[in-house]
Amino acid sequence: MKSIAIFLAGALSMGVGSLFVPRLRPGAIQQAARGETAPPASLVVLAADGRIEGRSVATEVGPPMTGVVESVAVREGQRVAAGAVLASLQCVDLRDEGAAAAAAVESLNQERTRLLRGHREEERRIAEQQAAAAKADLDEARARLGRMRVLVEKDDISRLQFDEVERQFHTAEARREQALAQAALANAGPLPEELAKADEQIHAAEKHAASFAAQVDKCTVRAPIGGTILRAHVRAGETASTIFPHALFTLADASRLRVRAEVDERDIGRLRVGQPVEVAAAGLAASLSGRVVSISPMMGRRTVLSGDPADKNARDTLEVVADLDPTGARPAIGLRVTVKFEK
């Protein structure tokens, strides 16, 4: 019995001592055996489950309106810029009505231009020529009236003849006034009320066209951010609905990878910004390194489940984001990993 007690005491002391032995990085034992200088030992203070994500959280892109998908312009894994076309919906009727509304605006603008320009140059010349002809007729009538006045005073002609010549003079005088008025009208600008009416018509038509343009623009699904297409959930011919919405595409900025870990509420006191981390997963040939860049100010429920029934999902967790070394491997976004936080 004494020997058994000694054995158990020794085993216990070895087990307890091993808890305080710093964890050596891979290859440190082999380097020590070869007589090489081993890198400084790192001490893991806690571990948490996490997932790999891009520089931005994955964004779900839904349809801007209900319709049938006409074409899909991207494929999974493709990088797109912000505003790039991802898909198009069938909107033939809307596009035709929008084109008609735009044409109506153009027509009204041309009418306003003609209103400002006034009559054509040919019409102005005709009015001027008519005014000149009317002046010549008036001069002739005036001269005849002068001659007839002399003759009627000498009783060489009857009073009736003189009255006829005088009537012709007044007629020529009226025609001259009419020709001058037509010439002035041909050279006059638009009335203020005519111009105001034209402006109101153009404004109403522009609003109508803008409404159609906004609806037509909704026929195109565009990328809200620049990034990589992670999933294309739709194909040409399928129906996209805003009543029962579902994502058409999932994209994220994958130019830089990071990991989002969920730290148990009991371990949040061991966290700090700038803390080095090591990321490992069964599907990774080598672990990844990184540093903590942000710690959430709010606790939340666990979303990354390890699948171990012993895990306590009822506990709150704190989200911690760490940027990964860009020179390391590039695992798939969404990969579940274990994040080890070092001292």
Percentage of the chain surpassing pLDDT 90? 54
What is the CATH class of 101-213? mainly alpha
Please give the Cα distance from 47 to 341 (Å, whole number): 6
Distance (Å) of CA 99 to CA 91, 202, 298, 341: 12, 16, 51, 60
Topology of domain 59-91+216-252, CATH:
OB fold (Dihydrolipoamide Acetyltransferase, E2P) (2.40.50)
Write the pLDDT tens digit of every residue in 29-84: 444 445 555 455 568 999 999 999 998 888 999 999 999 999 999 999 999 999 99
Least confident of 27-41, 141-155, 207-221, 292-306: 27-41
**What is each CA distance from 304 to 35, 40, 278, 317, 334, in whole angstroms?**
43, 32, 18, 10, 10
Domain parsing of the chain, residue ranges: 2-56+255-342, 59-91+216-252, 101-213
Residue 27 has pLDDT above 80, yes or no: no
Q: Could you report the per-residue pLDDT of 262-278, keeping only the tens digit for each?
A: 999 999 999 999 999 99
Among 187-191, 246-250, 255-259, the minimum mean pLDDT is found in 187-191
Residue 106 token pair: 């153009």
pLDDT at 251: 92
What would the pLDDT profile of 123-176 be if each residue is shown by its tens digit? 888 888 998 999 999 999 999 989 988 888 888 888 898 899 999 999 999 999
Give the pLDDT score at 33. Answer: 46
Query: What homologous superfamily is domain 2-56+255-342 in, according to CATH?
Result: Efflux pump adaptor protein, beta barrel domain (2.40.30.170)
Mean pLDDT in residue range 204-225: 93
Read off the pTM.
Answer: 0.58
Residue type, 340: K
Cα gap 206→237, rounded to integer Å? 33
pLDDT average, residue stretch 98-127? 88
In order, the DSSP letters of 7-29 are HHHHHHHHHHHHHTSPBPPTTHH
Q: Is the pLDDT of residue 190 over 90?
A: no
